[in-house]
Structure 1
Amino acid sequence: MTNYGAIPTSSHASPLVDVESLSRAKHRIKAGLATRRAWRVMFDFHSMGLPHGVSDAFTRIKTNLAYFRMNYAIVVLIVIFFSLIWHPTSLIVFTVLVVVWIFLYFLRDEPIKLFRFQIDDRTVLIVLSVLTVVLLLLTNATFNIVGALVTGAVLVLIHSVVRKTEDLFLDEEAATTETSGLTSYPST
């Protein structure tokens, strides 16, 4: 006897999409993006104003770079992306690098450990930035990449100077690591 049009009811068939894996990925993406600062806080027009002097400008730059680090990384990556639209090879390399950025910087739950040493978040940012620039320069889009990096740096610098810091609060751990520089800690 044939069962044309019958819906299989076997529980042994594996689903096409693993719902649990998708749920975990969705949770990690939300948690990873939660570490960046809200864009409305970053672009709050009531918190914009010129600094009172050079020392105030340097203080703002230091505080804003620490506070909006992930947002600034996203801005620079977007500027680089738009500069590479007409260079398909560079765009493919950049897409692969963005995936690396997502997993090693944006969506990381735990610190990276390498040979019993815990790698600082700032070190990961610098290494990924240098790796991105070097690999993109190897794709012969040097003018576009340098222009995008300069544009991104100018945008970040302008924002970090103009954005007031009185309403920004770094947590105590972040404040202590900001003054310590590039460090790696042995994991216990």
Structure 2
Amino acid sequence: MPPTTTTYGTITASGTCTSSRAKHMRRPWPELVSLSSFSLPISYGDAKARIKLNLSYFRVNYVILMLTIVFLTLLWHPTSMIVFLITFIFWWFFYLFNDNPVVVFNKTVDDNVVLGVLSFVTVVSLVLTHVGVNVLVGLIIGVVVVGVHSAFRRTEDLGFGGVEEEENGLLSVVGSQPLRPTSGYNRI
């Protein structure tokens, strides 16, 4: 559905453009590693909620961190490093710094599908260069680092935007002001 133009600007008919763009934002690294933002989770449920929110918010940062860890495991394998750098170019153009959705045969491809395909192609291409153990070790280290970080990183200070909050179910009416009519009647 094409955007609707009003006197106030352009309003998109669906929220996917805004949320897709928000998901592809690399957050500032000091925000990711701020020591004041770390604390022990209260419970397993709290840790699980933190992991979910942090994975969503720092998505691009975590992908860059994982790719860096895998790259470091390939330092003594020059052929694999070349293959990795070639796949990194695809990561660069299709995921890390692409603000527009990927379109194949006039159909928009979901961000999670792009992430999955790029991950699969990277792992398979590196395994074919006979560094399967190195890739596996790098992925395990990366998952542990990202998992520990996302479990211990508090989420109260994350700056979620309105669309992301609506999509993740983060909007709450608890503690909010009651709606007051600005005129003589309310539209129901």
TM-score, reference length from structure 2: 0.73
Q: Does 1:69 align with 2:59?
A: yes
User: Does the aligned pair in 2 maintain the 1:90–1:141 contact within 8 Å?
Assistant: yes
Matching residue within 85, 89, 93 for 1:103:
93
User: Does the aligned pair in 2 maintain the 1:66–1:178 contact within 8 Å?
Assistant: no
In structure 2, distance between residues paired with 1:160 and 1:82: 21
CA-CA distance at 1:170 after TM superposition: 2.5
1:83 maps to 73
Letter in 2 for 1:167: D
In structure 1, distance between residues paired with 2:53 and 2:82: 34
Q: Does 1:171 align with 2:132?
A: no
User: What is the 5 A alignment of 1:85-164?
Assistant: 85-164=75-154
CA-CA distance at 1:107 after TM superposition: 2.0
1:25 maps to none
In structure 2, distance between residues paired with 1:118 and 1:175: 23
What's the C-alpha RMSD, in Å, of the aligned pairs?
Answer: 1.7
- Runs of 4+ aligned residues of structure 1 deviating over 3 Å after TM superposition are 172-179
In structure 1, distance between residues paired with 2:123 and 2:168: 24
Letter in 1 for 2:80: S
Q: Does 1:45 align with 2:35?
A: yes
1:111–1:178: structure 2 CA closer, same or farther, 3 Å change rule? farther
- Partner SS for 1:100: helix
| Aligned-pair identity (%) | 42
CA-CA distance at 1:173 after TM superposition: 3.3
1:78-105 C-alpha deviation (Å, 9 max, x unpaired): 1111100111111110010111111111
Letter in 1 for 2:147: L
The answer to which structure has the higher helix fraction is 1
CA-CA distance at 1:52 after TM superposition: 0.3
Which structure would you say has the larger Rg?
1
- Partner SS for 1:37: coil
In structure 1, distance between residues paired with 2:109 and 2:135: 27
TM-score, reference length from structure 1: 0.73
User: What is the 5 A alignment of 1:15-34?
Assistant: none
In structure 2, distance between residues paired with 1:48 and 1:124: 31
Gaps of 5+ in 2: 1-23, 170-188
Aligned length in residues: 146
In structure 2, distance between residues paired with 1:162 and 1:46: 11
Gaps of 5+ in 1: 1-33, 180-188
2:177 maps to none
